[in-house]
Structure 1
């Protein structure tokens, strides 16, 4: 007999068919997620949570291009309408789609078994894209003209969707906004070790018995599965995120490490609008700053990216010393060096992975990668002693510019910027994004905006998105990128799939 818990971690079932009119009312249904999530008061959390939202313009025109947005939240929190794309739709040039997908352990536990093969949350996204291809024409959309986009973890997800064999033919362009497939937090380094680590944190000790471990997860309530504190991990990983799957009888979403796929050139090379904000590391000022600075001064090596490996502890400490001196010199990590602290986490979490991927794309022959850095200074909720030193853009600030202003009761309401310069930049940003969605280029030949050629393997040129936008001929963050190139060329640890489970021992007792 098949039990419900046997299906919790599998790919989603096909969408239901409606014989009568379906009242598509937004009931604020969201997937189970971390208790750290700042959800609206009206949220309803449930396991049957795969909801799609379709935004259709007021026009009789059909076969409109479609933009599908993947929400962010470190693969642990969030929901489809966390931010809404109504302003893009009001242009009457596109149809927009947002949606939920399974999160945390529910979406990304990866044991490589029949019941828990891995990447359930990514398979939810693939199912959504297949649903769009099959149904979007009924809403006036063109199923053969789909762009996938995402912000933060959604950016990483969109980047991974591009590399997956399961998405072939489902999209034409990709817009990853602050998050790359090769990033330290985008793919689990060792899924089985992550599964054991979390189980131990929940006082389950029999982790070396593989099938006891599997049963722990299949029987654990959602309150347990969503209890991990993913924000304070010092190695810049978030535990349950996408994984490389071992071969099973089910369809795999990802069968190799993103770095290997990009280097092989064996993927769908499509136009990419690729970039990040210049102060992404502000995220780490708002979350865990006091704890992190104290611990970084005590033992900086604990804060090296989790996808680096070393032959010995002495080698690790030596590399940690090089990295600390590169960013902080001989100074302590404190308010005096706050900009270096921001740069460090900007690079580790977002900037360097994006720029590393740009290099691989160019070397693989993808000559349609449009690179940008968004740097318009925004409102910051920081201590006054720090705030005066900050003139830049926080994590996913470009998404805030493209999407609708957050509602007044939103946890992100403070991000709304009403300055005249920002309003002008917002109009330009939306024009660039709409251009890319409809033509595959952010600046088509007939546009009055500055020309924007694709980037090459040296990460140049790139568009500086501030007011006014300006094309920069030189490489983006050249000194910092070359530094990390040398580190990753020597010490990179390639993610692996879970190992083959041991044979089951059957007993008649």
Structure 2
């Protein structure tokens, strides 16, 4: 028996001395290969769930298939089906994950990464290297989850209960629980981490009881589960309006779900191209599910769950950058948003504001406009003001509100404002997404190495201890926790090779006070029975340059 154990151990580490390595999973053997850019191994696109096409299109994922022989984890090109103006992109049966590890013999913390892009696509995302986190003694895992209509059609019925994309992530977490130890990961120390809509998904999953014992820490970047776009306010009505594009006759939710199930995937994703809502809603997003349906992930509004305290109290980091509104640069430059905002500002109010009548809505819209634009016209000359407004409602305000709500009942909550710009950045602040160049690695976008090391060290320390304590570098200041009684946070600012870290308090205070004083009483939450709650809110839909006025 002793000889057999030694033989198994030697077999497991043989690949460390070669260019490949074999790891055992519940599905069978997986072969990974040495990375080109560092001393670690890559395992690409390992299936973590079964087929999600046909009758399973909108349902929770099934168990992954067993392998027929050894699985060579080399295919790095699998994408989930998604909209594209240039023809079909991705496939439906796409539920795979990729593992990056430098050592399969010792347990290390695991980072599970959720990409962003508004629950919509991944096609324009750069291909980052995760070598810095991996070589800092952690296991990094990225995954595909269903997108847009495939991941978030929500009729709250058995055929389309909603939140398939969230259920994909939970299935991946189950796979990690069962298999990650063989890749050198500690399944009892998983850090769920995401950017943009991926950050919102991190929030939603950590608020779900289904994540218990699967997620142990969380990092959210430029996104929040309580943002107005994060959870659909009227998913059934949105789905019906989408069905109108195909000429489907009025029918029950069950019939519409079956129609969508039977439709060609390319047909569905082509019809999604060009849709943009001025209030930053998306066609298909996570929803509050019917709690009577099995496997429901989210059965109440996120803000209600936070207030109730009925969620896991895990260590939590949230980060925002100075120019979050840069994610709307294209809309401002090329999609006539500035002109439309100048003439119809109330259409751009967040969907989670509800007013008693049209007069009150217009009055409050005027107050908001004056706060951001003063007496100026909304045009190219006030483009920075446009981006400040968009950045506040998309990310900054919900991120800070979410942190405040968590800190009431949770210890080890941390907030960071990041505004470190490179030497050629022409924008007045760090752009949305630019922070990822510091956390990961992209050869075409080099960044200041000391700042990158600071991030990696803090994240790994957080994964190991629950505290982002930094390194022995004297310039790496203590990152103070954001508490119920003390709104402390860390700022990283500077340009090029010059950056400073400053403990501060009361983040984005003047703006938050304005929203609290003037608009906090108008906030509403998405609910299961919110079906017609936003029917009276004006929303503009742009489809292929044609403007349609849609009244909800």
TM, length-normalised to structure 2: 0.81
* CA deviation after TM superposition for structure 1 residue 60, in Å: 6.1
Matching residue of 2:520: 489
Residue in structure 1 matching 2:259, options 201, 216, 234:
216
* CA deviation after TM superposition for structure 1 residue 202, in Å: 3.3
Matching residue of 2:191: 147
Determine if the alignment matches structure 1 residue 333 to structure 2 residue 333: no
Q: Counterparts of 1:483 and 1:220 in 2: how far apart (Å)?
A: 47
Matching residue of 1:397: 434
User: Cα distance 1:446–1:4, how it changes in 2: closer, same or farther (>3 A)?
Assistant: closer
* CA deviation after TM superposition for structure 1 residue 169, in Å: 0.5
Determine if the alignment matches structure 1 residue 53 to structure 2 residue 104: no
Task: Provide, for residues 94-121 of structure 1, a one-character-per-residue CA deviation record: whole Å limited to 9, x for no partner.
Answer: 0100010000001000001111111111
Does the aligned pair in 2 maintain the 1:79–1:99 contact within 8 Å?
A: no
Matching residue of 1:433: 459
Structure 1 segment 93-492 matched on structure 2, within 5 A: 93-204=137-248, 206-207=249-250, 209-226=252-269, 227-229=271-273, 232-290=276-334, 291-363=336-408, 365-378=409-422, 387=426, 390-405=427-442, 413=444, 416-418=445-447, 422-443=448-469, 448=474, 449-457=476-484, 460-467=487-494, 468-492=499-523
Q: Counterparts of 1:453 and 1:317 in 2: how far apart (Å)?
A: 41
Question: Mean Cα displacement is larger for which, 20-29 or 123-132?
Answer: 20-29
Which secondary structure state, in structure 2, belongs to the residue aligned with residue 176 of structure 1?
A: strand
- Whose RCO is larger (CA < 8 A, sep 6+)? 1
Q: Counterparts of 1:358 and 1:499 in 2: how far apart (Å)?
A: 25
Q: Mind listing any 5+ residue stretches in structure 1 that lack a counterpart?
A: 382-386, 407-412, 501-509
Which secondary structure state, in structure 2, belongs to the residue aligned with residue 148 of structure 1?
A: strand
Task: Provide, for residues 234-288 of structure 1, a one-character-per-residue CA deviation record: whole Å limited to 9, x for no partner.
Answer: 0111120111101344210111100100010110011111111110101112334
Determine if the alignment matches structure 1 residue 7 to structure 2 residue 50: no
Q: Counterparts of 2:530 and 2:360 in 1: how far apart (Å)?
A: 28
Matching residue of 2:544: none
User: Cα distance 1:379–1:401, how it changes in 2: closer, same or farther (>3 A)?
Assistant: same
Which secondary structure state, in structure 1, belongs to the residue aligned with residue 112 of structure 2?
A: strand
User: Cα distance 1:295–1:458, how it changes in 2: closer, same or farther (>3 A)?
Assistant: farther
Does the aligned pair in 1 maintain the 2:194–2:220 contact within 8 Å?
A: yes
Q: Higher Cα Rg: structure 1 or 2?
A: 2
User: Cα distance 1:163–1:379, how it changes in 2: closer, same or farther (>3 A)?
Assistant: farther
Determine if the alignment matches structure 1 residue 35 to structure 2 residue 73: no
Matching residue of 2:70: 21
User: Cα distance 1:450–1:231, how it changes in 2: closer, same or farther (>3 A)?
Assistant: farther
Does the aligned pair in 1 maintain the 2:461–2:469 contact within 8 Å?
A: yes
* CA deviation after TM superposition for structure 1 residue 27, in Å: 4.5
TM, length-normalised to structure 1: 0.87
* CA deviation after TM superposition for structure 1 residue 213, in Å: 2.3
User: Cα distance 1:200–1:498, how it changes in 2: closer, same or farther (>3 A)?
Assistant: farther
Question: Mean Cα displacement is larger for which, 459-468 or 423-432?
Answer: 459-468
Does the aligned pair in 2 maintain the 1:373–1:463 contact within 8 Å?
A: yes
Q: Counterparts of 2:119 and 2:268 in 1: how far apart (Å)?
A: 13
Does the aligned pair in 2 maintain the 1:65–1:141 contact within 8 Å?
A: yes
Does the aligned pair in 1 maintain the 2:104–2:182 contact within 8 Å?
A: no
Task: Provide, for residues 268-320 of structure 1, a one-character-per-residue CA deviation record: whole Å limited to 9, x for no partner.
Answer: 01111111111010111233435110000011001111111111111110110
Q: Counterparts of 1:181 and 1:81 in 2: how far apart (Å)?
A: 22
Does the aligned pair in 2 maintain the 1:328–1:337 contact within 8 Å?
A: yes
Aligned residues: 473
